[in-house]
Amino acid sequence: MEVKLSPGTVAGSTAWSLPDLRGSLRNPMLLHLAFWVVYVVFFGLLYGSYIDDYYNAFMVELVELPFKVALVYFNMYYLMPKFLLAKRYLEFFVYLFLLTGAIAGLMQYVLLPFLIHPLICPTTCTQDNLTLYRFVKNIVNINYLVLISATIVLLRNWYQHQQATRTLSQDKLEAELKFLKGQIHPHFLFNTLNSLYSLTLKKSDNAPEMVLKLSGLMDYMLYDANAEKVALEKELNYIRNYIDLEQMRYGNRVDISFNETGTIAGKQIAPMMLLPFVENAFKHGVSTETENAWIRIDVKVQQSHLSLRVENCKSEAAERTAKEMASGIGLKNVQRRLELLYKDAYSLEVEDDPEVYAVHLELDLSDRTYED
């Protein structure tokens, strides 16, 4: 029987947040000021070329500017958060239409006849500008400004939302990896202490050597295993020490073969990634077999590609634990860590035959950056 385990994905949640124009800018006031300067200059030049009077065009823009600024910021900080981002679209557009109509009416029927026409441009600002057509055109022009500012806010809101989602996903990923790694350590320690306990009961001369090797393994677990990646050579040396510990425990009743081929130096791997497969082989293939037990471990490295195959014998007593092998703490954790760290850069196959249990891992060790 062959079971193929494929990579999974990690999903994050999404949510709108209120617009925050400060963001990561050191001086947001300068950004706002630059926006309004560009606006006045652009439309002053545009309107000035139309009436052939740039001075009056700029003066009109400056007089109308406070009302347009008030409209834009009221929309950004009140109407959009309260209605648009809350998906109350009808209310938002009704209030925005009424507000722009009021501002356009104020500028056309109050500022124009009583301030702009007599004081700034008595010849060019004529009564023709007080028509209904001009009023509707003013509303459209004001809404251009509202649309530009609203688009900037929405784009910034989207960017901040994406950044927050990515940060949250990364935090969740790191927390889950730490939790999984924390489960691996006590699981390994429990098995190793059982081996040491067996030797002390027998008053074996190998007990001191086992304590020394266990000390080396604990040093690796406490320090090296906390890194994002470790040298593949260290990881394999860690497995060799573990095998030596188990060999002391079981003695001659287990035949262990450990083979390495390819260039190991210079390669890196996530720590504690390969050991669970070896642990399972001892736990379910050797501990249930009274004699003639065997384990085969083959590691092949070709360029940045690693292949690990772990085989162990099965006895009648081990048949009842076949499902345990595929769902034990160690194997489940390493499968989840593979999903989180290597995503589509690995394949894992489990072969469960009547007399042999085998795990085959193919892993891409090249440096890659994964996003959630």
Question: Which token pair is 180?
Answer: 């999984």
**12, burial (CB in 10 Å: exposed 0-12, middle 13-18, buried 19+):** middle
The DSSP element (H or E) to which 302 belongs, if any, is strand 293-302
In whole angstroms, give the CA distance from residue 311 to residue 53. 89
Rounded to whole angstroms, what are the CA distances from 28 to 24, 155, 267, 315, 327?
Answer: 9, 16, 46, 72, 54
DSSP structural state of residue 165: H
Question: Which token pair is 267?
Answer: 């390669």
Which residues in the chain land under pLDDT 50? 1-25, 318, 320-327, 369-372
The per-residue b/e assignment along 322-341, b for 16 or more CB within 10 angstroms, e otherwise, is eeebbebbbbebbbbbbbbb
In whole angstroms, give the CA distance from residue 302 to residue 265. 11
Rounded to whole angstroms, what are the CA distances from 177 to 14, 230, 361?
Answer: 22, 15, 20
Model pLDDT for residues 11-65, shown as the tens digit of each residue: 333 344 444 444 444 577 888 888 888 888 887 787 666 666 677 777 777 888 8
Model pLDDT for residues 182-205, shown as the tens digit of each residue: 555 565 667 667 777 777 787 777
Residue 17: the pLDDT is: 44
Question: Which token pair is 230?
Answer: 């470790």
Residue 182: the pLDDT is: 58
Quick one: CA dihedral 48, 51, 55, 57, positive or negative? Answer: negative
Q: For residues 80, 84, 85 and 88, what is the CA-based torsion angle, rounded to 10 degrees?
A: 140
**Quick one: which of 282, 297, 291 has its CA closest to 247?**
282
Residue 32: the pLDDT is: 80
Residue 135: the pLDDT is: 77
In whole angstroms, give the CA distance from residue 196 to residue 189. 10
The DSSP element (H or E) to which 347 belongs, if any, is strand 346-352
Q: At what angle do helices 132-202 and 89-106 cross, to 10 degrees?
A: 140
